[in-house]
Amino acid sequence: MSLLKTQEISKAFGKLLAVNRVTLDIRQGDIHAIIGPNGAGKSTYFNLVTGYHQATSGRVLFKERDITRLPAYRRCVQGITRSFQITSIYPKLTVYESVLMALVCHRGVSLNFLSPATGFFREEVWRILEEVGLAEQAHAQGDSISHGDKKRLELAITLGTEPELLLLDEPTCGMSPEETESTMSLVRKLCKDRKITILFTEHDMAVVFGIATRLSVLHQGRLIADGTPAQVRASEEVQKVYLGGAA
């Protein structure tokens, strides 16, 4: 079943057409990778789905509802959230407070002015921290933990909003091979246990073919291939513009 659909979606920056009439189905339960060379429009496509940018034309449907004109925060309430390529966390808050922040934002207590925030959602925060393996660092400040842990923390924060569709922009960017491996198995686990559909971009082809259940290729803003990893690997056009001899 399709969870998210983009229909003929385009985004122009001045004369540059960053995303050019992309029609794509993201099916529920998939780990869907979007790949393409630098400047292919992956990040812009992400921004159109999450509402960071408004589409120039075309429509975005989430669970059959038109969300094309919804601002980012409303899409998040509906179940779409994201991580950023440049890790976006709360540097001066502790790991625990950061995850608590997400729950406080999402669980309908955001207009509570009088009860202490620390009294809320203790079980849930610890469950998420244990799930991503950050329980030991719960009281460390966000900017004091390692790069890999910051990426995990961002993932933990997004989990606080109970997303149905989670977009990960270069989730293993800058990670060591061990960190990459554990992050990928974490993503796989989240997809399975929490039934989260994942849409991600990644430049590391080993990671992409290791985890993706579905693959789309963007080139100069256009969608040039879409299918299972095996199908995409076999596509001649993809071979020509992107994978080269690597596959």
113 versus 178: smaller Cβ distance to other proteins: 113
Pairwise CA distance, residues 210 & 24, whole Å: 22
| Cβ closest to other proteins, residue 97 vs residue 226 | 97
* Contact assessment for residue 18 and residue 11, using Cβ atoms and an 8 Å cutoff: yes
Q: Which range, of 26-34, 87-95, 189-197, 216-224, touches other proteins by CB under 8 A? A: 87-95
Residue 24 makes contact with other proteins by CB under 8 A: no
- Cα–Cα dist 77/114, whole Å: 23
> How many CA atoms lie within 13 Å of 99's alpha carbon, on the beta-carbon side?
30
Among 83, 92, 212, 210, CA closest to 152? 83
- Work out which of 2, 7, 85, 88 binds other proteins, going by CB under 8 A: 88
The residue within the footprint of other proteins, chosen from 67, 102, 166, 191 (CB under 8 A), is 102
Give which of 201, 145, 131 is closest to 173, Cα–Cα. 201
Compare residues 57 and 118 and give the one whose CB is closer to other proteins. 118
- Residue 237 CB contacts under 8 Å (≥ 6 apart), including other chains: 224, 225
Q: Which of residues 108-167 bind other proteins (CB under 8 A)?
A: 109-118, 120, 122, 126, 135, 138-139, 157-158, 160-161
Binding mask 41-70 for other proteins (x = CB under 8 A): ---------x--------------------
Binding test (CB under 8 A) with other proteins, winner from 93, 140, 205, 241: 93
Task: Give the amino acid at 108.
Answer: G
Spatial distance between the Cα atoms of 157 and 102, rounded to a whole number of angstroms: 6
Considering the complex, what minimum distance in angstroms separates the CB of residue 53 from other proteins? Answer: 13
Smallest distance from other proteins to CB 64, Å: 21
Q: Would you state the structure tokens that stand for residue 145, as one six-digit string?
A: 């933990």
Q: Which is nearer to other proteins, 20 or 43 (by Cβ)?
A: 43
CA distance 163 to 82: 9
Cβ burial, residue 178 (10 Å; 0-12/13-18/19+): exposed
Nearer to other proteins, 76 or 223 (CB): 76
Distance CA 159, CA 220 (A): 32
CA distance 196 to 216: 19
Contacting residue, 60, 100, 199, 238, with other proteins by CB under 8 A: 100
By C-beta, is 112 or 144 nearer to other proteins?
Answer: 112
Residues that bind other proteins (CB under 8 A): 50, 71-74, 76-77, 81-82, 84, 88-93, 96-97, 100-102, 104-106, 109-118, 120, 122, 126, 135, 138-139, 157-158, 160-161
